[in-house]
Chain A
């Protein structure tokens, strides 16, 4: 009750704390969510279309991987292999767009891209992702030194693909000077996956064969993104924490007289600490909820921002939301209890006199 009254009677100070917590929480939410979204999009792209992935040995990034496409025939001949396809992933300027994803794939994988207009590409043709297609009213696009005819437009749940271009693997191979980036294999039964992995590994010394689950777990780029995100989130968290602690310290200093009066009236240290803690807690929880709503709003808008071409997507998981909630509570505890404890230990009359100073 007293906590609520104190908050409502000091609107500027309350707003200051509320804003600093909101910004800190939003920073953590957005940084974590966007990195999770990037990882989520790429891993979904790999995981949904195969159980096994074959990449060049010793290459940390699929963008630089070069696998002999001829291997696909040997793989298809293996027992329990249901299907396989090859894909080249790359990035290049497309017309006036400075950079976009390019996916070259074998014909048997084309149906993965849901056509909303036109038809699948033949040699010298491309289909554009729905987001990218909004940028082109022409019938052709220049990619590298070559002009491609736009044969259709496709849609995809994966933001990378929505903002990219799909073409035949032969055209992509010419463009990026490689055979294929990786091969994806689907096994006839989940029990056969490990057996197929072993058999494919025996086919060539130059490739690395993994289940897509393991690949996603071990993929260096994901680790880099996750670690970078962790570092940036931790910094945002630390900055938020310091911001809240310094604001709380200013608030406590500006309220020394009030705390001194309370102590003079016989109110205990615990009473003062408890009230200050609840004030911060009320603000932290409301700021957290406000930041959550704002972050969800921003994350929902991201895929529709034309400039980003759907490349930046955010995924806000329950675990992130809970982690950030726990962090916010920690911020409130740390930020309010230490200065309150220091103030509560001071003689009441000194607090009153310091408050007047």
Chain B
């Protein structure tokens, strides 16, 4: 599904990832763990095509990301992303936030997903009118709307209480059961209970 070959990354002169190579198989729930500054968020950004690596090659579904002609469509159709701070657009309501991410033929999924996540009644509200836990569920709905092959989540429960964290992990585990590959970068060791594999990072290297 995802093949990482000799990936390194620099921010200016500072190297944050060192020659990483590994594979993620389809349907895995991968937990990227590590301390702050270990490079897990940078690696997740590279895996999800949001950041170009300084060196190395990334293959997704056998395609080299570097050579993909329409990276925007690739990202929209194959990848879902959940950020720590949900990052909803504040001037769009919940329905519009999800519709913004949805492909034309997937817009019919919006109500269904909102219903499954228990937030259908929030559809007309704006992000600042709902709670943090509800916002993260909206972010998850946005990541799921195009039925992506892979979901990347960066500290998805970082701003949530324990109860809401369990809900989010449960929803990600449900996606894995449906055949989606999930990669989560987090400090929270509870994820190990859901993950099928774990990669531990320290100072930009795999332990």
Contact with A along B39-59 (1 / 0, CB 8 A): 000000100101110000000
CB of A267 within 8 A of chain B? Answer: yes
Is A268 close to B, CB under 8 A?
yes
- Contact partner of A349 (CB less than 8 A), chosen from B51, B92, B142, is B51
Residue A9 is within 8 A (CB to CB) of chain B in the complex: yes
Residues from chain A with a CB closer than 8 A to the CB of B90 are: 9
* A contact residues around B51 at 8 Å (CB): 347-350
In the complex, 15 of the A-B residue pairs with CB atoms within 8 angstroms, ordered by the A residue number, are A6-B91, A8-B91, A9-B91, A257-B87, A264-B75, A266-B72, A266-B73, A266-B75, A266-B77, A266-B101, A268-B72, A347-B50, A347-B52, A349-B45, A350-B51
Q: Taking the nearest CB of chain A, how far is it from the CB of B50, in angstroms?
A: 4
- On chain A, the residues within 8 Å of B75 by CB distance are 264-266
- Bound: A175/B96 CA distance, A: 78
Are B142 and A265 touching (Cβ within 8 A)? Answer: yes
B199, CB-defined interface residue at 8 Å: no
Question: Is A2's beta carbon under 8 Å from chain B?
Answer: yes
Residue of A nearest to B74 (CB): A266
Asked if A258 is at the interface (CB within 8 A of a chain B CB), the reply is yes
Which one of B76, B87, B100, B142 has the greatest number of beta carbons of chain A within 10 Å? Answer: B87
Residues of chain B from 82 to 108 with CB closer than 8 A to chain A in the complex: 83, 87, 89-92, 96, 100-101
Q: Which of A222-280 contact B (CB under 8 A)?
A: 257-258, 261-269
Pick the contact of A258: B45, B76, B79, B89 (CB < 8 A). Answer: B89
Q: Apart from A2-B92, A265-B76, A349-B50, what 19 extra A-B contacts exist at CB < 8 Å?
A: A5-B96, A6-B91, A9-B91, A257-B87, A261-B83, A262-B89, A262-B100, A263-B50, A265-B81, A265-B100, A266-B74, A266-B76, A266-B79, A267-B72, A267-B100, A347-B52, A349-B45, A349-B51, A352-B50
Interface string of B142-174 (1 = CB under 8 A from A): 100000000000000000000000000000000
What residue in chain A is nearest B81 (Cβ atoms)?
A264
Question: Closest CB of chain A to B43's CB: distance in Å?
Answer: 11
Nearest chain B CB to A256 CB, angstrom units: 12
Q: Are A261 and B87 in contact (CB under 8 A)?
A: yes
Chain B interface (Cβ < 8 Å from any Cβ of A): 45, 48, 50-52, 72-77, 79, 81, 83, 87, 89-92, 96, 100-101, 142
CA distance A258 to B87 in the complex (A): 8
- Whether A189 sits at the interface, judged by CB under 8 Å, is no
Residues in A lying within 8 Å of B, measured CB to CB? 2, 5-6, 8-10, 257-258, 261-269, 347-350, 352
Q: Closest CB of chain B to A282's CB: distance in Å?
A: 14
Interfacial chain A residues near B91, Cβ < 8 Å = 5-6, 8-10
Do the beta carbons of B83 and A352 come within 8 Å of each other? yes
Complex alpha-carbon distance, A107 and B81, angstroms: 90
Residues A261 and B50 in contact, CB atoms below 8 Å apart: no
- Whether the pair A263, B72 counts as a contact (CB closer than 8 A) is yes
Once the chains are docked, how many angstroms separate the CA of A5 from the CA of B93?
A: 10
- CB-CB under 8 A from B81, the residues of chain A are 264-265
B102 nearest CB neighbor, chain A only: A265
**Which residues of B sit under 8 angstroms from A8, Cβ to Cβ?**
91
Which residues of A lie under 8 Å from residue B50 when comparing CB positions? 263-264, 347-349, 352
Cβ of A354 to closest chain B Cβ, rounded Å: 13
B52 — which chain A residues lie within 8 A by C-beta? Answer: 347
- How far in angstroms is the closest Cβ of chain A from B134? 18
User: How far is it, in angstroms, between the C-alpha of A246 and the C-alpha of B104 when the chains are bound?
Assistant: 36
Report Cα–Cα, A10/B90, bound state, in Å: 10
Contacts of A347 in B (CB 8 A): 45, 50-52
Cα–Cα distance between A227 and B188 once the two chains are bound (Å): 71
A contact residues around B96 at 8 Å (CB): 5
Report the bound CA distance from A267 to B102 in whole Å.
10
Chain B residues lying within 8 Å of A10, measured Cβ to Cβ, are: 91
Nearest Cβ distance between residue B172 and chain A, in whole angstroms? 18
Q: Shortest CB–CB separation between residue B119 and chain A, in angstroms?
A: 18
- In Å, the complex CA distance between A6 and B92 comes to 8
B101 touches A265 (CB 8 A): yes
Chain B residues whose C-beta falls within 8 Å of the C-beta of A257 in the assembled complex: 87
Nearest chain A CB to B63's CB is how many angstroms away? Answer: 16
A279 to B83, alpha carbons, bound, how many Å? 27
Interface contact A261-B89, CB-CB below 8 Å? yes
Q: Across chains A and B, which 3 residue pairs bring their CB atoms closest together, nearest first?
A: A266-B76, A9-B91, A349-B50
Q: How far is the CB of A260 from chain B (nearest CB, A)?
A: 8
Q: Chain B residues near A349: list those with CB within 8 A.
A: 45, 50-51
Contacts of B74 in A (CB 8 A): 266
A9 to B93, CA, bound (A): 11
CA distance A350 to B45 in the complex (A): 10
Scoring A6, A262, A263, A349 by chain B CB atoms within 10 A of each residue's CB, the highest score goes to A349
Contacts of B89 in A (CB 8 A): 258, 261-262
Q: Which residues of B contact A352 (CB under 8 A)?
A: 50, 83, 87
